[in-house]
Chains A and B, each alone.
Chain A
């Protein structure tokens, strides 16, 4: 079935550095999402993105976070600067939208900030 690819699967970064998480969504999808999961627990919504713009963001989407999808390439989540509490697994997702919509998730990027 359709796949969302996330690159890399693991990343270790020094606190204060910048990190970019990459997501290759399903090719014809129009809506894109980032979720944060800490310690295998709840999936927390961060942000969704459509037509080049952030549609909605949660309180977890701090000022240090940004998203973009330049020219239909990767959908990225950038954190600058990183903090220890940013350590988590970040899941990217995409959906086509429309009434019969299904959100497809990637396998996640495990980010460890040290």
Chain B
């Protein structure tokens, strides 16, 4: 089945620096891609959903890139601030007879220091 590798597991940056998190997936039929943010003790907040037809996706303060050739999805926080400190998860989903089942990466714990 689908496997998703996420790196790095931990990331520490200073305020204003960029932060990049990368996920690599295995199934070439992957079609939907998601980035979630989880603050301590909270649920999952969807940052962005990406479809396989779109390679560059701009959000507020971040960019998501999809490289289908290398089966890689990245989240780039352009100028991190302390409020970005959280655990970030990527998730990848197939469409297989309607059996949607997002597979998650292991998460990246991001700490942004003032």
Q: CB of B46 within 8 A of chain A?
A: yes
Q: Give Cα A33 to B46, complex, Å.
A: 16
A22 to chain B: closest CB distance in Å?
15
Q: In the bound complex, do residue B89 and residue A101 qualify as a contact, i.e. CB atoms below 8 Å apart? A: no
Q: Give Cα A39 to B104, complex, Å.
A: 15
Chain A residues with CB under 8 Å of B40's CB are: 40
Q: CB of B32 within 8 A of chain A?
A: yes
Q: In the bound complex, do residue B101 and residue A45 qualify as a contact, i.e. CB atoms below 8 Å apart? A: yes
B13 to chain A: closest CB distance in Å?
20
Q: In the bound complex, do residue B98 and residue A41 qualify as a contact, i.e. CB atoms below 8 Å apart? A: no
Given contacts A41-B107, A106-B43, A107-B43, contact A31 B89 (CB under 8 A): no
Partner of A42, one of B46, B98, B106: B106
Q: In the bound complex, do residue A50 and residue B43 qualify as a contact, i.e. CB atoms below 8 Å apart? A: no
Q: CB of B75 within 8 A of chain A?
A: no
Q: In the bound complex, do residue B42 and residue A107 qualify as a contact, i.e. CB atoms below 8 Å apart? A: yes
Q: In the bound complex, do residue B101 and residue A56 qualify as a contact, i.e. CB atoms below 8 Å apart? A: yes
- CB closest residue in chain A, given B45: A105
Q: In the bound complex, do residue A33 and residue B107 qualify as a contact, i.e. CB atoms below 8 Å apart? A: no
Q: Give Cα A73 to B44, complex, Å.
A: 23
List A4-60 residues whose CB lies under 8 Å from chain B. Answer: 31, 33, 35, 40-45, 48, 50, 55-56
Q: Give Cα A86 to B44, complex, Å.
A: 21
Chain B residues with CB under 8 Å of A101's CB are: 32, 93, 95, 100
Q: In the bound complex, do residue A103 and residue B107 qualify as a contact, i.e. CB atoms below 8 Å apart? A: no
Q: CB of A84 within 8 A of chain B?
A: no
- CB closest residue in chain A, given B105: A42
What are 10 A-B pairs at a CB distance below 8 A?
A35-B104, A40-B87, A40-B107, A41-B106, A42-B106, A42-B107, A45-B101, A99-B95, A102-B46, A102-B49
